[in-house]
Chains A and B, each alone.
Chain A
Amino acid sequence: MPAIRNQIRELRARREMTQQELADRVGVTRQTVIAIEQDKYSPSLETAFKVAGVLGVPLEQCFQYDPRGKR
């Protein structure tokens, strides 16, 4: 299980937002959004704050850190 997990897919679906829309608003590529949603990439703190801001939730609702996770 990865050290940093996220709820971006669920939060995005609740807002009926596409991956491309989220990517455009955050300033990353759609492939990066896909990688984050699949827990294949942990974004920088700045990007994480931007994602949470675009989704309108606090950072800790969007991303969770598990110290027992591997990365």
Chain B
Amino acid sequence: MATSLSYREKTLYASLAAELVVYGPYFFLHRQNSVDKVAGMIVAIIVLQIILQSLIAALTRNRVTDERDRLIELRGYRAGYLALASLMVIGLGMLWFHATVGHLRLDNRMAGLHFLSVFFGMLVIADITKTATQIAAYRKAL
């Protein structure tokens, strides 16, 4: 039996693709932290999301969402929140450890940029976890 994708599933795949295309090169290829790059990435993801979501909305005739979509959305947010909370605890623990043993000086500018990048990375991982969980939930029994 053919199971085509619903409107919500299409938007999720588009979101995941946009996140991987924009965040992937930044986190795996960049050599230096900078506020400009983070700002550029935020603008890029917003523009790409608007373009992709508009295209999907224009090309999808039936844009109904229902109780199952809402349930899956909630499950995704729960997984994203758990990922973010776990990463924050680990991140703050590492910050405390490195500051305590003297590996890290908190009073210079580079430390600030480093934290910006690390905490932004946590948000990105949590967001990707949320989207991936929602995509997986559409494929398995609830």
Contact = CB atoms under 8 A, between A and B. Distances in A.
B67 A31 contact: no
B: interface residue count bin: 10 to 19
Contacts of B66: 27-29, 32, 47
Q: Is the interface of B mostly helix, strand, loop or mixed?
A: loop
Interface string A9-28: 00000000000000100011
B142 interface: yes
Contacts of A43: 67-68
B142 A47 contact: no
A13 B95 CA distance: 62
Interface in B1-33: 1, 3-9
A31 B141 contact: no
Contacts, number: 49
B62 interface: yes
A36 to B, nearest CB: 9
B65 to A, nearest CB: 7
Contacts of B5: 31
B140 A31 contact: no
Contacts of B6: 29-31
A32 B140 CA distance: 12
A41 interface: yes
Given A28-B68, A31-B9, A44-B67, A39 B141 contact: yes
Interface of B: 1, 3-9, 62, 64-69, 138, 140-142
